[in-house]
Amino acid sequence: MYDVLIVGSGHSGGMAAATLTALGVRCLMLNAGPVADLERDRVNKSAHELPYRGFGKPGLHPHIFQANEYNANTWVDENEVPYTHPADASYNWVRVRLLGGRSLFWARQSFRLSDFEFRAADHDGFGENWPIRHNDLAPFYSRVEAQFKVVGRKEGWPQFPDGNFVEGGAGQADSECQQRITAAANKMGIGVSRMRAAMGDGGLASSVNLSLPQAVASGKLDVLPNAVVRQITTDPNTGRANGVIFLDRHTRQERRAKARVVVLAAGTLESTRLLLLSKLANSSGVLGRYLTDQQYGCTVVASMPEARDGKANPKLIGGGLFIPRFRNLRKDEKRNFIRGYALPLNTGSSPDPKYFPEYGEALQKKLASYAGSCVTGGIYGDVLPRYENHVRLNPNQTDAWGIPTLHIEARYGDNERNLCKDAADTMEELYKAAGLEVIVKSDKVNPPGYSIHELGTCRMGADPKKSVLNQWNQSHDVKNLFVVDGSSFATAGWQNPTMTILALSMRASEYLAAELAKGNL
Amino acid sequence: MPIPRRRFVLALGTVSTSPVVFAQGPAPLSAPRIVPVAPDQAAEPVLQFFTPTQFATLRHAASLLQPAYSNLPGAVEAAAPEFLDFLLAVSPAPRQALYRGGLDHLTSQAKLLFKKDFAALTAPEADQILKPLIVPWTFDPPADLHERFLTDLRADLRTATTNSAPYAAAAATTSRRGRGRTGAGLYWLPIDPTRR
């Protein structure tokens, strides 16, 4: 029997494995998909060498807007693991079942949550606080940032906590375009920083190259791919988890794996699906509830007139800017939305042809003129965690292994729409103040799930009647059951959640190992 | 003369018990490396989706929407219409209907305004039909199906052109700024697909 059974191998599972095995805990990791060989399974190709010239097989991934013919083989096939949503509320559930999961593909943007998120209810009265504060997680953030080699610029802003950054964040001097946007933002009372990102190793910051190698090297981790878990098993006498039942992905043969502790790290909705299938950890009745994520899609694109017609150069234009949350930092700020958003800006790009209502030679000339002169801006917007946004099992549909699927019901509300409109208006004002010509402006967002940052449904909290997990990512109901992925989030924030998921997994795993050593689990 | 099966099996058994031979493994093969020719180089596609009239309309629209420019091939030279005929043949029904309806609309407008097929229009004549259908970009696709068709067609022709072999060959001899974006990247092969 193993000490700990870890379901899932992405960032959260990889960190749990690395942390636990370093403390001498013997683990078995189950992953639903195969192991990719990053040398053998990827090849450089021109689009014309692909069967569909880069378009991809039509209709293959209808909910994955990020899919293209190059990466089409990495996403979960909806025919294999389907899900449903209301006809009027589309949801983009983007999944990867390769060993390493979505950690193989994330954009590496690395932020900490602040107490504006951890104590959000104290600040604006909506929802519940987390049972922890930034200070509780700060030491773990620091260790994760060092391991993932996060670069960034320290600002000392409370809504944008500084990290344990490695050298290498300082780039070349700001271009004139960057300076003009920064000056215009500062006049509007908005602070401008730089993107914070994990350098990882060789451009990859995944569990397969940063967490799992050390766990495997310890001799304390066994990794079993192609294991589709369908149920967490419990001891009928104690109610404690004692293992899982899984199916071989290819043969469908069922097996039972036993362990003293079960850690779920299958990704937000898969972990919750497994708890619902197992009828566990739901004395609160909120399992599956408070599904949230971050809204992406609001777009404002401008052009710097001085950089057109071949005059763009690194001194004039180029480089990124990052504007962390600046709205509703004061309790007395009166707006038609609560919480906030961040604005990632990029300067020196070329416009997408779709932005110009022209064709033929006129369009070609326009594109040539605007090449390199553009500034693009988007939004990382907070989404409120609402009870009605939820997932539940669908008794009428099963996946390729006969396991009931999820029905996902999530809608954005007025708060998200108003927040997005404010972001678009702010970017437009900012661009104009910086002397740029606005080409397109949209305050519309993609469907929920698009950001691939689904969070909540198994949230942590101080009150067992209102939450599924305690402050250690431990089930209130089943003490030897932990959930260490994004499902534990009580609020989403505007920040890419990866650093927080990693820090929470590390913290929970150290607590788990200590409790195991004391004989409490 | 073929070896009788029983003697062949016995011979295999003899070889397999020899540790020296077993350790040597199979003799290396010396088959020549064959570089296959691309289908586009060897043969022309057979049209399978559009009617002859629809295809003629598509080809003429392609020549106007995505013409050759700055030593780079246009949609016609890149065989983008032929490729779209294949792509639409394997596309979901709503997209097929959008394309068929859109092309038929161009034809009917040409007949209404100029009493001839769209494919026979001069560029200024075709502009009178195409320009009103090219609308400013919005996040959501245009609600009007004909506007939506032309929005999609313009984008699809561009992608099918810049991702074609003729475009890649021409771009290789053109400056980076001049060629714009060409399709290339890291392709993930199928990884142990689930056996059913």
Alpha carbon distance B12, A337 (integer Å): 80
For an interface test with B, give the residue of A39, A52, A53 to mutate (most B CBs within 10 A): A53
CA distances from A189 to A113, A160, A185, A327 (A): 22, 16, 6, 10
Mark the ranges of chain B whose per-residue pLDDT is less than 70.
1-25, 175-182
d(CA A79, CA A96): 14
B184's enclosing H/E stretch is strand B184-188
Distance CA A237, CA A440 (A): 63
Q: What is the pLDDT of residue B35?
A: 87
Look at residue B37 in the predicted model and tell me its pLDDT.
87
Tokens of residue A106, six digits: 């994330």
* Domain locations along chain B: 46-170
Residue A264 and residue A16: Cα distance in Å, rounded?
10
Q: What is the pLDDT of residue A173?
A: 87
Backbone torsion region of residue A178, taken as left when φ is above 0, otherwise alpha when ψ lies between -120 and 50, otherwise beta: alpha
Q: Which two tokens stand for residue B118?
A: 């769209």
Cβ pair A491, A251 in contact under 8 A:
no
A72 neighbourhood in chain B, CB within 8 Å:
188
Residue B175 is predicted with a pLDDT of: 60
Report CA torsion sign: A341, A347, A351, A355. positive
- ipTM for the complex shown: 0.92
User: Regarding beta strands A227-234 and A241-248, do their DSSP bridges make them parallel or antiparallel, or are they unpaired?
Assistant: antiparallel
Handedness of CA A383, A452, A100, A242 (dihedral sign): positive
Among candidates A50, A80, A358 on the partner chain, residue whose Cβ is nearest the Cβ of B187:
A50
- Write out the two tokens for A256: 């039972």
CB A469 within 8 A of CB A458: yes
Which residue in the block uniquely carries the two structure tokens 């569990």? Answer: A207
Q: Which of A58, A73, A80 sits opposite B95 (nearest CB)?
A: A58
State the Rg of chain A over Cα: 23
Q: pLDDT tens digits, chain A, 521 residues: what are they? A: 899 999 999 999 999 999 999 999 999 999 999 999 999 999 999 999 999 999 999 999 999 999 999 999 999 999 999 999 999 999 999 999 999 999 999 999 999 999 999 999 999 999 999 999 999 999 999 999 999 999 999 999 999 999 999 987 556 789 999 999 999 999 999 999 999 999 999 889 999 999 999 999 999 999 999 999 999 999 999 999 999 999 999 999 999 999 999 999 999 999 999 999 999 999 999 999 999 999 998 999 999 999 999 999 999 999 999 999 999 999 999 999 999 999 999 999 999 999 999 999 999 999 999 999 999 999 999 999 999 999 999 999 999 999 999 999 999 999 999 999 999 999 999 999 999 999 999 999 899 999 999 999 999 999 999 999 999 999 999 999 999 999 999 999 999 999 999 999 999 999 999 999 999 99
Closest-CA residue to A102 (of A295, A266, A344, A291): A266
Domains and CATH numbers, chain A: 1-40+89-152+204-292+387-405+455-521 (3.50.50.60), 170-194+299-378+413-447 (no CATH)
| A54 neighbourhood in chain B, CB within 8 Å | 159, 163, 183
Q: Does B187 touch chain A (CB under 8 A)?
A: yes
Phi, psi of B136 (to 5 degrees): -55, 150
**Chain A residue nearest residue B151, CA to CA:** A354
**Cβ atoms of A191 and A155 closer than 8 Å:** yes
pLDDT value at residue B8: 36
pLDDT of residue A203: 87
User: CB-based burial of residue A182 (10 Å sphere; 0-12 exposed, 13-18 middle, 19+ buried)?
Assistant: buried
Determine whether the interchain pair A41/B191 forms a contact, defined as Cβ–Cβ distance below 8 Å. Answer: yes
Distance from CA of A371 to the nearest CA of B (A): 8
- What count of CB pairs under 8 Å joins A to B? 136
Sign of CA dihedral B62, B66, B70, B73: negative
Residue A186: what are its φ and ψ, rounded to 5°? -60, -35
Q: Tell whether B41 lies on the interface with A, counting CB pairs under 8 A.
A: no
Interfacial B residues in 53-82 facing A (CB < 8 Å): 64-67, 69-70
- Contact, A234 vs A240, CB < 8 A? yes
